[in-house]
Structure 1
Amino acid sequence: MSAPPPADSPRLDLLRFLERVQLQDLQRTRDWIAAEEKHAVLEAARRPAPPPPEWLIEYGIGTGRPAARVHAGSCWDTRRR
């Protein structure tokens, strides 16, 4: 087992420098991610809502779930069970 390097070791100084640079790069990457997420939220808010569907299928209960009813898109009874 080797002894730890002395506190004033040039290799240790270089490793600490590398650590600081990598932490700065990580923070820059996190800032870019946060900016992209904010941009995506703003883009989604600007898009108009899609039009309602012309019709909906209500499925039955049980295995296979056959179609129970077909509703017009403007029907009041389009809630889920």
Structure 2
Amino acid sequence: MFDDLPPDLDRLHTLRVWHALWLERIDRKIAALQRRQAEQERGRRNRPARPDWIVQLGIGAGRPPLQVHTGDCRMAGSRHRPVGREEARRLLAGGLPACIHCRPDAQLEIIDLDPAAAA
């Protein structure tokens, strides 16, 4: 049949040890990948929900608010904080500009703050 193995006992034992070491190495890699996948899945499940509205913040001591964005707007930058619907409406009504890309003013149904309409 398939008799391509060495004929002597010493070499067969060596091959068996070598294969056992490889199996152990493969098993460790499988276990590490399973742990990593479980951690990633836990991270996906425990990730906080994206806020509906965010306020982009400026630089400096007070970090003043600069613009209101929707929660999924890519133009908000890295300095922002989540706000609720009512606070977003209050900030927009108070004169804080709305992002021209995601248009939170339109989604919040505040249509009379459009700067283009005033011109």
> TM-score when scaled to structure 2?
0.39
Question: What is the CA deviation profile of residues 22-64 of structure 1, one whole-angstrom value per residue up to 9, with x for unaligned ones?
Answer: 1111121121112111101110011132898xx9563xxxxxx
What is the Cα-based RMSD across aligned positions, in Å?
A: 3.6
Q: Does 1:19 align with 2:18?
A: yes
Structure 2: gaps (5+ residues): 1-5, 70-74, 79-119
Amino acid aligned to 1:12: R
CA distance in structure 2 between the aligned counterparts of 1:32 and 1:70, rounded to whole angstroms: 46
Secondary structure, counterpart of 2:7 in structure 1: coil
Equivalenced residue count is 65
Alignment identity in percent?
Answer: 6
Match of 2:41 in 1: 42
Residue 68 (structure 1) shift: 8.4
> TM-score when scaled to structure 1?
0.53
Match of 1:70 among 63, 79, 85: 63
Structure 1: gaps (5+ residues): 1-6, 59-66
CA distance in structure 1 between the aligned counterparts of 2:43 and 2:12, rounded to whole angstroms: 47
